[in-house]
Structure 1
Amino acid sequence: MQSIVYPNGNVSITVPAAESVAVATIGSSQATVYRELGYPNAPPTRSLLGVVQNGQTVFGPYASGATIIIEAGADEVMYEVGVAPVVLWLKCYALQPDPGVLNATGALTAAMMLSGIVTSTTAAAVAGTVPTGATMDLASQFNVGDAFDWTVIATGANAFTVTAASGHTIVGTAAVATATSGRFRTRKTAADTFVTYRLA
């Protein structure tokens, strides 16, 4: 999951091809983000990508990958690398990206799940298929045992049902009844293998 840059520290990270990096801070703390550029017969240089303060910014994706340098200010900075990276936690605060929305049967993407909230308002019944284990593994830097919680809020006239995929199983009741919400925890159990548990 996410990593830390400690106060007044810096880190150089390699972002794989087609992936991005999410950088997050809270309050007056800030992070300065650079991309390292290399030229033949010359030392590497830095290009300023931006300054992140009291929020989260995603840099990328980078088609051929990139070397990114993050410099922390007076407080720690959190970062996450992946296809759809989201920093889920910073100190005692939660960062809430825009909730995911699924109003028709289809893919329940990693980005939707990692946002922490998925809403459904359609009158029709909806089945949301979780990403495959391999797709989920690409979405973030999960270690075996890492997990995150997310919620489905169903306000439409029919149920929202979470369905399994290859390498990603469901444990517990997967249907979220209309006018209710369902709480889930998704956990990596092995390479390209995830389990989503119904908690409440």
Structure 2
Amino acid sequence: MSVVPDLATALARAEVVHDRATIERAIARMAVRIRNDYACSVPASSDSVSSRPVFLTVMHGGLPFAAQLALEIGARGLDLEFDYLHATRYRGATTGGQLAWKHLPETPLRGRRVLLVDDIVDEGHTLAAVRAWCLGQGARDVRIAALAVKRHDRCVPGLRADYAGLDVPDRYVFGYGMDYHEQGRNLPVIYALPE
């Protein structure tokens, strides 16, 4: 049995990269852009159900961000259809392996506009696979909303967040959905460990 690193020890060494107020302002700005983009892209012949974007939260990391983003979008008058997926390459580790699907969305995606909502775009392998899966299910448009984007040049070619909240350094970051060895996802700020 492996020993889980202590969150309190990590917090003592970590620096706050983005505080809660900064995160909430970034999410509000994202909501405006998303609402405007999706409101302008509804075909005139669409029915109200199929024209609603499918707001697809990537679990577990995307949950805190997705909840806040959904409320901000709703406050601006855009209705969403909710579903979620759980796909991971990490399984509690700090480096990714092969993609494992734990839960597939139940909403049919054929012909739908999909907004994938996740905590971070790091190298993007998981999001690239999820986006490809959504397109394979017949989604007509798949966009990505990510709270954080890591500053580096190792991202999967062609993958980017269509809606990005904040940049974070190329270090181990956690909080606001991102975990420190499956801990600290519910911290209301984003921390980074020293290099």
TM-score computed with the length of structure 2 as normaliser: 0.24
Greater RCO (Cα-Cα under 8 Å, separation 6 or more):
2
Higher share in strand:
1
Structure showing greater Rg: 1
**Greater percentage in helix:** 2
Tell me the TM-score normalized by structure 1: 0.24
